[in-house]
Amino acid sequence: MFSLGFFVDLQISLIVLWAIYYFAIHNRVRTAVARTIILLIVPFSLAISLTKIPLQTVKEYVELPVDAPSAGVQDFPAVVSSFEGDAMQDVGVFYVIDKQGLNAQWLYAVGVVVMILWLLVGLFSIFSTILFTKIEKIFGHSVIFLRKRAAAYSFFNYIFINSSLRSSPSLRLVILHEAAHSKYCHSVDLSIMLLCRALLWFNPVVWHLTVLLKRVHEYQVDNSIVRSGASIKEYHY
């Protein structure tokens, strides 16, 4: 496990890089550039934090006589020498386990497990929908109509649309919109960011980066659809 110092360095790095992006770069560069920067913030923060060798949780030690009653609880004992005037006395060195650090690590681990399970449940839901729901080819794209409230979303090359939009005049634009997400591999971006969020669930910066990434995705798709010749008035769903 990494030390508390590593996590502190990581939090500081994330906050600094997020602040630089949000206040100096966001909405000032092309969507492709913004997308790349957002995806690199977490890896860069990890790289910065790992420039220091992470220390173990077991850090502090105290010097006790070898025959001390607590000698049975030592972790990795060693023998050192301590001076008492001109005399030298051998004593045992026993590492003291940082219980608060261990509790924090257990809390972190539980959070990671919960977040990963949540991701797996979502993936299971998507794959089960793909396997057990009729897939229709519309305008050359794989479309699945759902009765769920969500208007539309995509997962790689599959497009999921609310069944109420089947007869809607905006169906073509909805499909084009979601197909653009697939074209730009936005599902890959979100998969990476959601994994980072699962590993760093305690950091609000990572959650906000996920929101910013989704916004950039929408801007990128909107620009693509408008450049393709779609009417701005018609394209409003």
Closest CA to 157 of 166, 144, 147: 144
Closest CA to 63 of 96, 102, 99, 97: 96
Contact by Cβ (8 Å): 173, 139: no
Give the HSE-up count for residue 151: Cα atoms under 13 Å, Cβ half-sphere.
9
Report the distance separating Cα 164 and Cα 104, nearest Å: 47
Please tell me the predicted confidence (pLDDT) of residue 96. Answer: 54
Please tell me the predicted confidence (pLDDT) of residue 67. Answer: 54
Contact by Cβ (8 Å): 156, 186: no
Please tell me the predicted confidence (pLDDT) of residue 36. Answer: 97
DSSP per-residue codes, 156-208: TTEEEEEGGGTT-TTHHHHHHHHHHHHHTTHHHHHHHHHHHHHHTTT-HHHHH
Strands 78-84 and 61-64: unpaired
Please tell me the predicted confidence (pLDDT) of residue 56. Answer: 44
Report the distance separating Cα 173 and Cα 233, nearest Å: 12
Please tell me the predicted confidence (pLDDT) of residue 71. Answer: 47
pLDDT by 10-residue block (mean), the chain, 237 residues: 77 96 95 97 93 52 51 47 48 54 82 97 96 95 88 94 90 94 97 96 96 97 86 64
pTM of structure? 0.78
Task: Please tell me what DSSP assigns to residue 26.
Answer: T
156: left (phi over 0), alpha (psi -120 to 50) or beta: left
